[in-house]
Amino acid sequence: MLTISDICAIMARLSPPEMAQNYDNTGLLIGKREMPVNGVLCALDVTDQVIDEAISLGANMIISHHPLIFGKVTKITDDTRLGRAIMRIIQNNIAVYAAHTNLDSAHGGTNDCLAEKLGLTNITPLLLEDGEKPLLGRMGELNAPMTLDKLARFIAVSLNLPTVKFVGNASLKISTVAVCSGSGGSPAYFKRALACGCNCYITGDVTYHNAQAAAEMGLSLIDATHFATEIIVTEKLASYLTAETAGIAVHASSVESNIFNYSI
């Protein structure tokens, strides 16, 4: 019988902990390392609904992309949603593991999933300057050049979104793009994408002023939401763990949805 420690080691092979950004909180967050694993649930977030799902499936380990515990925690009480979640997880003998920015950076991780989902070819990490920690993003070529507005529509369909926001000339032909799943709307990333020859950058959580910065740099920008650019990794995680853990039931969460609704 595989233990929590065994699953942690399997996950570390896919997304090595040393690839995480310095601010991150990854690895085993809750649980006993020598506890046998009955089942695994892969999710983007450890929400109340995901905890319910794990309990109903008999899965005693949740592997999430976003860490349940992030930043300083001074109290664990039923006064807060986090406190209630942690107590409920422990009461139900469930372990929680997070693979966050290390999974974003890893080969076969979140950003590779996004690049592949969009049909990019010649996928490579964004180039670095000497001494820098690896960037989370990827760059690649479209199968055929398309206008920015057509690319925006294609991305919306590919990621099951009713629409996406974009910045730039709608008729501009796009051929080389950079992607950064989740929240990658930093002007520093915009500059690197331009330096690498990309004329469009796809990410989520772009703020108004950072969108202005991209426009001033001459970089086309598509905001495909934090959720849609990352939820695709849960199926990939489930497939990976299924192949590595014969006999253990592994599930991708079926209860998660974008927190934002759209009025069209």
pLDDT in tens, 62-107: 999 999 999 899 999 999 999 999 999 999 999 999 999 999 999 9
In the predicted structure, residue 33 carries a pLDDT above the cut 90: yes
Which 8-state DSSP code applies to residue 37?
P
With both helix axes pointing from N to C terminus, report the angle between 233-244 and 4-14 in degrees, rounded to the nearest 10: 120
Q: What is the percentage of the chain residues whose pLDDT exceeds 70?
A: 97
How far apart are alpha carbons 66 and 25 in whole angstroms?
9
| Lowest-confidence region among 99-103, 134-138, 152-156 | 134-138
Assess if CATH 3.40.718.10 describes domain 107-229: no
pLDDT class of 264 with cuts at 50, 70, 90: confident
Report pLDDT for 4.
98
At 131, the pLDDT band (50, 70, 90 cuts) reads: low
Instruction: Check pLDDT > 80 for residue 135.
Output: no
* 107-229 and 4-100 share a CATH fold: yes
In this predicted structure, the answer to whether residue 129 has a pLDDT above a threshold of 90 is no
Which two three-digit tokens encode residue 150? 């057509």
pLDDT at 132: 60
Model confidence at 133: pLDDT above 60: no
CA 153 to chain centre: 21
Output the pLDDT for position 250. 98
CATH of span 4-100:
3.40.1390.30
pLDDT tens digits for range 43-65: 999 999 999 999 999 999 999 99
Q: List the structure tokens of 120.
A: 């990019």
The tokens for 88 are 């409920």
Evaluate if residue 130 carries a pLDDT over 80. no
User: Can you name the residues that pair with 60 across neighbouring β-strands?
Assistant: none
Boundaries of every domain in the chain: 4-100, 107-229
Label residue 126 by pLDDT band (50, 70, 90). Answer: confident
Determine contact, residues 106/115, Cβ cutoff 8 Å. Answer: no
The predicted model scores a pTM of 0.95
